[in-house]
Amino acid sequence: MNREEITAKLTEVFRDVFDDEEIVLSDATTADDIEAWDSLEHISLIAAVEKAFKMRFTMREVSGMKNVGEMIDILMQRAK
């Protein structure tokens, strides 16, 4: 998968988790940009992303992600 394909799939996951069809992701998107994105929803989001991409993040990866771009970078590395 390329970056655009991952972003499109990730956008679907975000829209589903946050029940908001208006979400548009960029590499710079953070929890501050999505009103419903709190610590509880973060857990749901990580689980949904793992399920959609059929992989697991390590605790180090989860705690180190500062924005959506870093999540995409990890997903791209795993897709190789």
pLDDT score recorded for residue 62? 93
pLDDT score recorded for residue 80? 66
**Range(s) of the domain holding residue 60:** 3-79
pLDDT score recorded for residue 3? 95
Domain count along the chain: 1
Q: How far apart are CA 80 and CA 76, in angstroms?
A: 7
Exposed/middle/buried for 71, CB within 10 Å: 0-12, 13-18, 19+?
buried
CB 59 within 8 A of CB 37: no
Listed residue (23, 26, 55, 60) closest to 41, CA to CA: 23
Q: What is the pLDDT of residues 30-65, one digit of tens each?
A: 999 999 999 999 999 999 999 999 999 999 999 999
CATH number at residue 14: 1.10.1200.10
In this predicted structure, the answer to whether residue 79 has a pLDDT above a threshold of 90 is no
Average pLDDT, the chain: 95
